[in-house]
Amino acid sequence: MSQKPLLTFSSSKIHIVRHRFAWPLGAVVLASALLSMPTSALAWGTHAHAMIGRVAAQSFPHAMPEFVRTAAAVDEISELGPEEDRLKGSGTSWDADNDPGHYLNLGDNGEVAGVALNALPKSMQAYARALAPSHATPWSVGYLPYSILDGFEQLRTDFAIWRVDDYAMHHAATAPLRAEFAADRNLRQDLTLRDIGVWSHFVEDGSQPLHVTTHFNGWGNYPNPRGYTQAPIHSEFEIDFVDRYLSLAAIRRHMPADHIPAPAKLLSQHDLASLVASYLAGTNAAVTPLYSIAGPSGAGFKHYSAKAVAFTAVQLARGAAELRDLTNLAWQDSLYVKTGYPYRSVRAILQGKVPLTASLLDR
C-alpha cells in the first residue's frame, strides 16, 4: 500500500495515475492493524469503484433529470465512487465510526450475530438493540445495509428538493423569488451529484462477496468440509485481479435489466430494507463460488481464467445495476415525500396547490 491512485478521465476509458509517496510510521502501523483486524476493512479497489459508478451512471434512464446524465455528471459520480476509501485513516474517531459501514459479517445461516438479514430492523439504533443479546454491536459486525439505506433516504430528499426548486423557478410570482429558487436548484444539483457519488461506494461494496460474509479474507475458523482456502484472498481478488483483467465493456456485457418497479406511493421502510437485504443476500450467495474459483491454495485469482473473469464481471455488474436502480428509485420515490418548513407534499406543490413562497426554501 505504497501508492495512492487518483483518477483522470477521457471520453472512452478510465486512466489511473499513481503518485508514489512514503507513508509515515503511524500510517504504516495503522495499515498493519487494519489488515489484521477480525473484520473486513478493505473494499473494491479504486479502479473497480470507478468502473461500477461509470457504468451505472451511463445507464440512468432518460426519465431521470438531465443533470445526473451529462458526461460531466458521469465523470463526477465515477470519480467519487472510491472517496470513502480515500478518507480511511482520517483519524481514530472517524475510522472507528465509519469503517464498519463498508461490510456486514453475515454468517452462513443468513444471520448477523442472531439478526436475520431478511428481517433487518428499521434503523441502526434498532439494529444495535437487536444485536445486544449477542454482545455484538454494529461496529463489531458491520452495518453496510444502513450505509445504503441512509444514503438512499438522503438522495430521495435531494431529488424532492430539486423537484420543488425546478418547478418554483418557473412558476413563482416574482422574478426575485424565481431567481432564488433557481439558485437553490443549482446548488441542489451540485449536492445531489456529490451525494450519489459518495453513497455509490457503499452500494458498490454491497456487490463484493467478501464484504457480506464472515469468510472475508480466507475461510476462517468455521466448518470447512470442502477445504476452502485459508489464504488472505481479499485484496488480491478485488484489486489486483480486477485491475489486470476487468474492463468497462466486460461489466456492461453482464448488466441485468432494471428489476425494481416504479412505486405508486412512498416506499415503506420495510420495503426499502427488503430491497437492500435481497441485494446483499444475492451477493452472499456468491461467496462459496468465489472460494471454489480461488481453490484450496487461494491462487485462483492470481492469474487469468475465463471463469474467474466472468464471475468477477457479474459481481461488478450487479453493483452497477443496483446503483442504477436505487438511484432511479430514489428519483421516483421523491415525488411522494414532503419538504420545506413546515413540511408540504411535493406532489401538492407540483400540482399548484401550495403557494410558492420563500418558506419552501427553509429546511
CA pseudo-torsion sign 30, 35, 40, 44: positive
What's the rounded Cα separation, in Å, for the pair 249 and 351? 43
Residues 6+ apart with CB under 8 A from 305: 293
Cα–Cα distance list, 313 to 94, 172, 173, 266, 306 (Å): 32, 48, 52, 33, 10
pLDDT at 262: 86
Averaged pLDDT, 183-210: 98
User: 258 — phi, psi (to 5°)?
Assistant: -55, 130
How far is it, in rounded angstroms, from Cα 120 to Cα 116?
6
Average pLDDT over residues 87-112: 97
Report the alpha-carbon distance of residue 308 to residue 295 in Å, rounded. Answer: 11
42 falls in which pLDDT band (50, 70, 90)? low
Q: Could you give phi then psi for residue 46, rounded to 5 degrees?
A: -55, -45
- Give residue 24's pLDDT: 37
Q: Which residues contact 362 (CB under 8 A, 6 or more apart)?
A: 340, 341
Q: Which long-range CB contacts under 8 A does 353-359 form with residues at least 24 apart?
A: 356/167, 356/168, 356/171, 356/172, 356/173, 356/177, 356/181, 357/177, 358/177, 358/180
Using alpha carbons, select from 182, 209, 258 the residue that is nearest to residue 108. Answer: 209
**pLDDT tens, position by position, 325-337:** 999 999 999 999 9
Averaged pLDDT for residues 109-135:
97
What is the rounded average pLDDT for all residues in the chain? 89
* 86, pLDDT greater than 70: yes
DSSP string over 133-193: GGT--HHHH--HHHHHHHHHHHHHHHHHHHHHHHHHHHH-SSHHHHHHHHHHHHHHHHHHH
What pLDDT does residue 17 have? 33
Residue ranges per domain, the chain? Answer: 3-361
Residue 79 pLDDT exceeds 80: yes
Residue 47 pLDDT greater than 50, yes or no: yes
Q: What are 256-274's pLDDT values in tens digits?
A: 988 788 899 999 999 999 9
Residue 29 pLDDT level (bands cut at 50, 70, 90)? very low
Interatomic CA distance for residues 167 and 356, integer angstroms: 9
pTM passes above 0.75: yes
Q: Lowest-pLDDT range, 33-47, 55-69, 127-141, 320-334?
A: 33-47
The values of phi and psi at residue 111, to 5°, are -125, 155
Q: Pick one of 3.30.470.20, 1.10.575.10, 3.30.70.270, 1.10.3720.10 as the CATH number of 3-361.
A: 1.10.575.10
Q: Which amino acid is at 190?
A: D
Q: How far is CA 217 from CA 113, 207, 226, 286, in A?
A: 19, 16, 16, 14
Nearest to 117 by CA among 125, 101, 39, 109: 109
pLDDT, tens only, 11-26:
333 333 333 223 333 3
pLDDT for res 35: 37
CA distance 282 to 111: 14
**CA-CA-CA-CA torsion sign (113, 268, 145, 99):** negative
